[in-house]
């Protein structure tokens, strides 16, 4: 998170990054079965004073982040970041009906309206 935090604070000095969930060895956070939280490779967070789209795009700049989830419907909209070892990158968002969707062109159009 160090690269991300430096980038965010350079562009938005008043930003505050709040981590809500990280390592979840006991499965107490309601994560999906294959969650990277169980191996300590993930965290869920929000960035106050920064638009969610901007926080997401800043996260995309870090090549080590292989998995990114976007959660616009959280009480405080936020992100999931993980450093999974898979070569394939994963991108998703959870919609207002709590359904997971792939990040694709239609999502980008919706997110940037």
Domains present along the chain, CATH in parentheses: 2-28+35-111 (3.30.1380)
Q: What is the SS3 string spanning 53-111?
A: HHHHHHHHCCCCCCEEEEECCCCCCEEEEECCCCCCCEEEEECCCCCEEECCHHHHHHH
Grouping H, G, I as helix, E, B as strand and the rest as coil, residue 8 is: helix
**At 24, is the pLDDT very low, low, confident or very high (cuts 50, 70, 90)?**
low
Summarised one tens digit per residue, pLDDT across range 47-80 is 999 999 999 999 999 999 999 999 998 888 999 8
Summarised one tens digit per residue, pLDDT across range 88-111 is 888 989 888 888 888 887 777 776
Per-chain mean pLDDT for the chain: 85
**At 15, is the pLDDT very low, low, confident or very high (cuts 50, 70, 90)?**
very high
C-alpha span between 63 and 77 (Å, rounded): 23
According to the model, what pLDDT value does residue 5 have?
A: 93
């Amino acid at each position: 998170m160090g690269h991300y935090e430096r980038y965010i604070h350079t562009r938005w000095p008043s930003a505050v990054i709040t981590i809500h969930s990280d390592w979840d060895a006991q499965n107490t956070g309601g994560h999906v079965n294959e969650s990277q939280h169980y191996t300590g490779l993930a965290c869920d967070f929000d960035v106050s004073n920064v638009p969610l789209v901007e926080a997401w795009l800043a996260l995309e700049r870090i090549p080590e982040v292989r998995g990114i989830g976007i959660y616009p419907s959280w009480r405080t909209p936020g992100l999931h970041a993980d450093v999974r070892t898979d070569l394939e990158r994963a991108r998703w968002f959870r919609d207002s009906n709590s359904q997971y969707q792939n990040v694709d062109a239609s999502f980008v159009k919706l997110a940037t309206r």
